[in-house]
Chains A and B, each alone.
Chain A
């Protein structure tokens, strides 16, 4: 579950029309959310509130052998941000839980989030978090520029370790996202980018409504002090099942330096059920790993049943409808789409000639949109996540939900106990009592007003 401040930050990005999913960092966000979800490791209580429309604060207490705490303050000069931030009683669970990231093609993304405009003036956000008694300090400064840039500065100052400063300079156009990162820790320098292809309709593709997106991304890292390199390339393909409209994401990552190849396949088979598999393979050492994960959402009993899908539009309404909406066959149009008048004409002509196919498009689109709508509007009250990995021999469980206005997440990780000896014979003996010891478990309570 997201912390309150992360939630605020997420909403801030939404307000400033910053597509987080377009960053290379989140290119495999879905599989990470389903496999590597955060499990609380102690008893944690968080109380947050929105003191003014521009400032938010959080008090956190953690009991992990000793009692630690932190105080967080956040200030932003973003207008209207408070309208999108709800307390824990009213917030939608889908927004708080890191889950399946539904990726829309960028030309659709703008349509769905049209209420959020790119700001005209630079908007900034300042975040500070003070830990006690360890007396370390986290500072973050985010500045969103009117053009496609965003600048993030993160700083950590603590008594125990050295102070670390990390800066991000990000440029996010619709089709591309580039980032330049520098961290003073080991002088890490990195560059990453994502490019979204405009997918061309192919002859084999029977569906005219193309809601799929293909992206490729890459990153290069190097620590300047110790000269440790790192790089990777990822291909991501998001689409929907044609008949049922279920979204699916496929990624293929390659780390040429260490010969690591991993592929993930995530599918939302139902609006409350997601499956994800991941297969890792190392070319050099021929080691492989299979990871499976799933999440299950549950509705509240009291909530009203999800509305039945709207009736299918009739053929008569077609021209009006299609002209209303942004062209979903964006990829079929010529780049000179600004000549709206001629395009309107063209559309009308097209509509007449391809009426049946347009109907088909409409049907497909409706299926997909209804699916998304059902997911977004559903009143979920709890979610259960499980993931397991064959090589690591672990089982991770997490339950998150809302109990009387509190957002609760409780989880545990069961792992094979570490080998007691290096001797091969002994470790074989110990394998029998695996899955006994929880290596990590905890519960987290959140309340925000």
Chain B
């Protein structure tokens, strides 16, 4: 589920106007459809009679709606795909302050006349001079303060909302002082049922139509009907399908991308530089990257090794890189120096100390620090310390192992840009991507043609992107080509707009408009769930679900 709050809609008056129109339309269902189901204020009395007493003489007009402050929606908890069937579960807090609504209507004060109208003529005595007496009535709801905590469930079949903790406060003023207290009492009583029954059922019914887009009108009435018979208040469908058209296609697109990214079996991650799209979570495909960031000597020096290797020989760089990362960034993270580093002595004691301290800080309980004395200037001591650890030996081995059989296999991989080999390159520090482009590219391009027959590891050329592209965007050269081939530059925009509103577990209002039109041009994105044929996605009319390409 995605939300987008536009400041703009609240800043100018159009929002209030829109609410006013909607309310007017919702409050006068009978005037537009049929006169039978007219909402009358005295529901109790009307139940006793065969026909309803309708004391309303005219339609209800909403004179004024004024939301002085922007209603705030705060997402307290969001759980995407909590179960297999529900897509989203969330808790949010809705708050709205200092709003004002004024409605006007005309009521019939002469109740005997109404009584005469609905009673059978035969048994009703005639009354003289019993004409109608209409009284205009104005009700003003001032200082409306609403604070509610609601649970939202989005399932494949519909949206369920329950209001848990509703604080509604308003000042009520009626032009007829005589009725003010009684109306106020009734309103307060009915508020509970509105938030408990009416609103959730309305939203659910609406969303059900939206999700299944079945026969909308007929089915919905039958769904609402049992509710109306049991409760006094007849729930009215306030939201129409026309309301849903306001949902921007770009929002839906983002939503669908999010969902499809979760459900696809693709091994390539969606985001190049981040571990998780949702804060506090780690996605399975990003686990390796995540673990590669956990402070440890392995992780740190793996990069050193890569740098060293690439600077030394370009051909081994690729393979060793993948191997090293595969090894070191495995699920179990070992805290040890690679043998190569040790041999070369390219480590820095201060760095090691830093890393160790970070580990200690991260994990206070498990790590028991043993005090050690390290005498500076003595070379044998750190070497001995490293050699005692069992990992150092195997750490050296794979390099030599894999370097030899490396031949065409990694190459084809590289050509196809299989995700396993590429992922390590996308590690957070982009120095790897930079360093080859600086020095080595000219050589590589020259050697690119005759790579086929060469078996020696040294002669295996590295895959290079064309120079132009490298110069254009140095960081993104290592992006997944497959992805890039059809997302192109839009991808970045999409990601920016997709993930930027979520910061620090809070939902922030996004002001600028996303790059909607460019995204929609002749692209088909797969998306899930919100399948409504009335909304057209892209240029073709095909219905949305799972148009995987």
Chain A residues packing against B (C-beta within 8 Å): 24-25, 27-28, 138, 154-156, 158, 160-162, 164-166, 168, 181, 183, 185-186, 188, 190, 217, 219, 221, 223, 226, 228-230, 232, 234, 253-255, 258-260, 262, 280, 282, 284-285, 287, 420-422
Does B129 lie within 8 Å of A260, measured CB to CB? yes
Which listed residue (A27, A181, A282) contacts B128, Cβ 8 A?
Answer: A27
The CA of A222 and the CA of B125, in the complex, are separated in Å by: 12
Q: How far is the CB of B59 from chain A (nearest CB, A)?
A: 3
The interface-forming segment of B106-114, B172-180, B263-271, B385-393 is B106-114
Q: How far is the CB of A116 from chain B (nearest CB, A)?
A: 25
* Given known contacts A161-B50, A166-B124, A422-B28, A255 and B119 CB-to-CB distance under 8 angstroms: no
Chain A hits for B127, CB < 8 A: 219, 221, 230, 232
Q: How far is the CB of B122 from chain A (nearest CB, A)?
A: 5
The CA of A190 and the CA of B59, in the complex, are separated in Å by: 33
Pick 27 A–B contacts, CB within 8 A, sort by A.
A24-B128, A138-B122, A154-B123, A155-B123, A156-B122, A156-B123, A160-B50, A164-B123, A185-B123, A188-B115, A190-B125, A223-B111, A226-B111, A228-B112, A230-B110, A230-B112, A232-B128, A234-B128, A253-B128, A253-B129, A258-B109, A260-B129, A260-B131, A262-B129, A285-B134, A420-B31, A422-B61
Kindly state whether residue B311 has any CB partner on chain A within 8 Å.
no
Q: How far is the CB of B213 from chain A (nearest CB, A)?
A: 29
Kindly state whether residue B466 has any CB partner on chain A within 8 Å.
no
Q: How far is the CB of A429 from chain B (nearest CB, A)?
A: 16
Kindly state whether residue B49 has any CB partner on chain A within 8 Å.
yes
Query: Do most interface residues of chain A lie in helix, strand or loop, or is the interface mixed?
Result: strand
Does B28 lie within 8 Å of A25, measured CB to CB? no
Which chain A residue has the least Cβ–Cβ distance from B112? A230
* Given known contacts A230-B112, A422-B28, A258 and B123 CB-to-CB distance under 8 angstroms: no
Chain A hits for B112, CB < 8 A: 221, 223, 228-230
* Given known contacts A223-B115, A422-B28, A254 and B129 CB-to-CB distance under 8 angstroms: yes
Q: How far is the CB of A226 from chain B (nearest CB, A)?
A: 7
Q: How far is the CB of B58 from chain A (nearest CB, A)?
A: 7
B295-310 vs A, CB cutoff 8 Å, 1 = contact: the mask equals: 0000000000000000
Chain A hits for B24, CB < 8 A: 422
B57-116 residues at the A interface, CB under 8 angstroms: 58-61, 109-112, 115
Which listed residue (A25, A223, A258) contacts B133, Cβ 8 A?
Answer: A258
The CA of A342 and the CA of B109, in the complex, are separated in Å by: 60
Does A185 lie within 8 Å of B119, measured CB to CB? yes
Does A422 lie within 8 Å of B59, measured CB to CB? yes
Kindly state whether residue B2 has any CB partner on chain A within 8 Å.
no
Kindly state whether residue B415 has any CB partner on chain A within 8 Å.
no
Chain B hits for A232, CB < 8 A: 127-130
Does A154 lie within 8 Å of B122, measured CB to CB? yes
Does A164 lie within 8 Å of B120, measured CB to CB? yes
Kindly state whether residue B365 has any CB partner on chain A within 8 Å.
no
The CA of A28 and the CA of B58, in the complex, are separated in Å by: 30
Kindly state whether residue B45 has any CB partner on chain A within 8 Å.
yes
Of residues B24, B50, B110, B120, which shows the largest number of chain A Cβ atoms within 10 Å of its Cβ?
B120
Query: Do most interface residues of chain B lie in helix, strand or loop, or is the interface mixed?
Result: loop
Chain A hits for B472, CB < 8 A: none
Kindly state whether residue B312 has any CB partner on chain A within 8 Å.
no
Chain B hits for A254, CB < 8 A: 129
Kindly state whether residue B372 has any CB partner on chain A within 8 Å.
no
Q: A219-B128, A420-B31 are in contact. List 6 more A-B contacts (CB 8 A).
A: A156-B122, A156-B123, A166-B124, A253-B128, A258-B110, A422-B59
The CA of A186 and the CA of B134, in the complex, are separated in Å by: 22
Chain A hits for B58, CB < 8 A: 422
Which listed residue (B32, B49, B126, B134) contacts A25, Cβ 8 A?
Answer: B126
The CA of A332 and the CA of B128, in the complex, are separated in Å by: 33
The CA of A213 and the CA of B111, in the complex, are separated in Å by: 34
Of residues A28, A181, A228, which shows the largest number of chain B Cβ atoms within 10 Å of its Cβ?
A228
Which listed residue (B31, B120, B126, B131) contacts A280, Cβ 8 A?
Answer: B131
B122-152 vs A, CB cutoff 8 Å, 1 = contact: the mask equals: 1111111111011100000000000000000
Does B49 lie within 8 Å of A260, measured CB to CB? no
Does A255 lie within 8 Å of B134, measured CB to CB? no
Chain B hits for A258, CB < 8 A: 109-110, 131, 133
Q: How far is the CB of B541 from chain A (nearest CB, A)?
A: 35
The CA of A22 and the CA of B422, in the complex, are separated in Å by: 107
Which chain B residue has the least Cβ–Cβ distance from A252? B129
Q: How far is the CB of B281 from chain A (nearest CB, A)?
A: 51
Does B131 lie within 8 Å of A262, measured CB to CB? yes
Q: How far is the CB of B338 from chain A (nearest CB, A)?
A: 79
Q: How far is the CB of B114 from chain A (nearest CB, A)?
A: 9
Which listed residue (A156, A168, A226, A422) contacts B125, Cβ 8 A?
Answer: A168
Which listed residue (A183, A260, A284) contacts B124, Cβ 8 A?
Answer: A183
The CA of A352 and the CA of B494, in the complex, are separated in Å by: 120
Which chain B residue has the least Cβ–Cβ distance from A182? B125
Which chain A residue has the least Cβ–Cβ distance from B58? A422
The CA of A165 and the CA of B125, in the complex, are separated in Å by: 11
Chain B hits for A228, CB < 8 A: 111-112, 115
* Given known contacts A285-B133, A422-B28, A186 and B128 CB-to-CB distance under 8 angstroms: no
Of residues B50, B59, B61, B130, which shows the largest number of chain A Cβ atoms within 10 Å of its Cβ?
B130
Chain B hits for A422, CB < 8 A: 24, 28, 31, 58-61
B31-42 vs A, CB cutoff 8 Å, 1 = contact: the mask equals: 110000000000
Which chain A residue has the least Cβ–Cβ distance from B105? A422
The CA of A179 and the CA of B133, in the complex, are separated in Å by: 26
5 closest pairs, A vs B, by CB?
Answer: A422-B59, A161-B50, A253-B129, A258-B133, A232-B129
* Given known contacts A223-B115, A226-B111, A422-B61, A166 and B129 CB-to-CB distance under 8 angstroms: no
